[in-house]
């Protein structure tokens, strides 16, 4: 995965009922292959999923390159087998609804959003900003 040339999947895409997971997998692969570009791995949204799976970012990244798609999915299923649908929905809300949490972050958020499209005042979450930046909104 070369994120210096392309965008990762939308954070709204799901795998195993979890948003952002397909994107995090692509970022982790790019991290291991030294092709992360300007992306951050692990970012705060990644950390929510890493905590959910109880795995550190280095182990997760290693698994994304050492296991094929089916085996990686099976490993993630095993890591989350004791998690309920309510827990998954909680994590999804945490990711999808996450907003800037300080004045500095809000200033940065608004600068980025306004640089792309100042009329998009409806974009108020990090996930929304990512999709806007990457041309999905």
Measured distance between the N- and C-terminal CA atoms of the chain, rounded to whole angstroms? 23
Q: What is the mean pLDDT of residues 106-124?
A: 96
Nearest in space to 62 (alpha carbons), one of 52, 75, 51, 49: 75
Of all helices (H) and strands (E), which one includes residue 19? Answer: strand 18-19
Q: What percent of the chain has pLDDT over 70?
A: 100
The structure tokens 């998009």 sit at 120
- List, for residues 29-85, the tens digit of each pLDDT value: 999 999 999 999 999 999 999 999 999 999 999 999 999 989 999 999 999 999 999
Q: Structure pTM?
A: 0.93
């Amino acid at each position: 995965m070369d994120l210096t040339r392309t965008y990762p999947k939308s954070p709204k895409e799901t795998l195993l009922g979890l948003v952002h997971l397909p994107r995090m997998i692509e970022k982790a692969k790019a991290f291991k292959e030294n092709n992360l570009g300007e992306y951050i791995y692990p970012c705060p949204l990644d950390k929510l999923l890493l905590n959910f799976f109880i795995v550190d970012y280095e182990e997760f990244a290693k698994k994304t390159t050492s296991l094929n798609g089916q085996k990686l999915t099976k490993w993630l299923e095993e890591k989350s087998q004791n998690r309920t649908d309510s827990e998954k929905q909680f994590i999804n809300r945490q990711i999808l609804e996450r907003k800037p949490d300080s004045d500095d972050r809000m200033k940065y958020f608004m600068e980025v959003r306004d640089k792309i499209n100042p009329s998009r005042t409806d974009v108020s979450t990090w996930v929304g900003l990512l999709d806007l930046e990457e041309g999905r909104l």
